[in-house]
Structure 1
Amino acid sequence: MNEQKNTTKTQIKQAAIRQIEKFGIDKTSMRSIAAEANMTTGAIYYYYKNKQDLFAEIVTDSIHFAHRIFHENKNEKITVDSLFSDVEKEVRIRFKRLQEEKLYLLLLSDAMKCDSEFSQKYTSGLKSILDQAATLFASAFALDDRKLAEQFASIFMATLDGFAIQQVLHAIPKDDTSYADTILDFFTTCVPYYIEKHRES
């Protein structure tokens, strides 16, 4: 049952991405998404209360690494090695998802335009993901300093978002994996070093 539900939701999200690419966020409706997915509008509303709800899930599922890692490791001890192994996998996946990156940036732009329901939902979701990322850093490095863990989470996510903007605008090559290599090498080298230095001070 859950597998069928996940398959259907994936079908809906892929249809939504195609519609947004063709017509933009404002002109994409639940009706047009349903037609694109070869489903009834009622079937779409069974899973999502509105298009903002659907769009927010697309962004969370496709882009934000912390959400998946946090839930996959909820009942397991997180080590530095396991965290960076999971992060590496997620970063490489994200760098290949150009369409989702475009959607993410479009939704972010839309969320900043006004204090709408989607803006509030997006802000709440982003805070939750930052909190999850901070928890991952704090757990892996046994950090008592929660604020430091939050800062690491914020810096790391800001770095990925910055690269996403450059990639979508074709300022950097979309197929050049060396950018992901550099990000991962930088953080796996610098974060442990900084934490040790912080503990000594």
Structure 2
Amino acid sequence: MEQINQRKQHIINAALETLKELPLDQVSVRKIAKKAGLTTGAIYHFYQSKDDLIFDAMQQSLYFTNALYKEVEKGQHQLKGKPLIEEINKHVEQRIKKTEEQKLHIQILSEIVKKDDALKEEYRKYYELMIDVVSKLFKDAFEIDESLCQKSVASILIAAIDGIALQQALGVLPESLENITKTFITFFNESIPLYLEKHKECKLK
């Protein structure tokens, strides 16, 4: 099993490297296979299509909720309060500091939104999933009552992370990445529970 996981990870790494070098429409399974030093058959053993591979690569590389979601899905998520906040902060920090992957994320998104295909649909579904997972984590992380506004706040958090990615791609971050990351995490740690607790329209009746 470990050998299979290593082979799959090798393919994902090759896909990310190929995506950094070429526009999305020029990326092919053959080119990814060449980068990985494998046959196309070896890649199709794990993935049915190029889109499946690209989505898996971007999902693993960038979506900070991925590991937390898997824990929730398997019933292994047991953290609450400060330990959970710290765990979320760690994943957010790792995501923001993946500078090259952040730029790649914006590049791929800009191409995907123009299309109406399977890869766009996968992204759409996963964004919905991210918003849902993050909103559910708020309750345990900040130890507050469930709120009608949780999904909206989760959506804003995810949009803000994508906004940081866009500024990284443009090279316009006003401070060092270290300072931006610290400010970002502190801002959301303080503002999310305050907003959800303060606004009565968010309270479940």
Please say which of residues 186-195 and 35-44 is displaced more in the overlay: 186-195
Match of 1:143 among 142, 145, 150: 145
Residue ranges of structure 2 left out of the alignment (5+ in a row): none
Residue ranges of structure 1 left out of the alignment (5+ in a row): none
The separation in 2 between residues aligned to 1:139 and 1:199, in whole angstroms, is 20
The separation in 1 between residues aligned to 2:68 and 2:6, in whole angstroms, is 21
SS in 1 for 2:133: helix
Q: State the partner residue of 2:40.
A: 41
Q: State the partner residue of 2:14.
A: 15
Alignment of 1:117-136 (within 5 A): 117-136=118-137
The separation in 2 between residues aligned to 1:109 and 1:174, in whole angstroms, is 25
Contact 2:144 2:197 in 1 (8 A): no
Q: Percent identity?
A: 32
Q: State the partner residue of 1:177.
A: 178
Q: Which amino acid aligns with 1:176?
A: L
Q: Deviations over 1:113-172 (max 9, x none)?
A: 121111112111211121111111134334322x31101210111111101100121112
Alignment of 1:22-37 (within 5 A): 22-37=21-36
Q: Which amino acid aligns with 1:100?
A: E
Contact 1:137 1:143 in 2 (8 A): no
Q: CA deviation at 1:175?
A: 5.4
Q: Deviations over 1:26-60 (max 9, x none)?
A: 11110110010011111111111111111111221
Q: Which amino acid aligns with 2:38?
A: M
| TM-score normalised over the length of structure 2 | 0.88
Q: 1:82 to 1:63 in 2, by over 3 A?
A: same
Q: State the partner residue of 1:198.
A: 199
Number of corresponding residues: 199
RMSD: 2.1
Contact 2:89 2:185 in 1 (8 A): yes
Q: CA deviation at 1:174?
A: 8.7
Q: State the partner residue of 1:81.
A: 82
Q: State the partner residue of 2:189.
A: 188
SS in 1 for 2:199: helix
Q: CA deviation at 1:72?
A: 2.7
The separation in 1 between residues aligned to 2:69 and 2:82, in whole angstroms, is 15
Please say which of residues 187-196 and 67-76 is displaced more in the overlay: 67-76
| TM-score normalised over the length of structure 1 | 0.89
1:92 and 2:93 equivalent? yes
Q: Deviations over 1:63-117 (max 9, x none)?
A: 1112211223543334231232112211221122122212211221122112111
The separation in 2 between residues aligned to 1:152 and 1:192, in whole angstroms, is 10
Q: State the partner residue of 2:164.
A: 163
The separation in 2 between residues aligned to 1:12 and 1:88, in whole angstroms, is 28
Contact 1:15 1:33 in 2 (8 A): yes
The separation in 1 between residues aligned to 2:78 and 2:111, in whole angstroms, is 38
Q: State the partner residue of 1:116.
A: 117
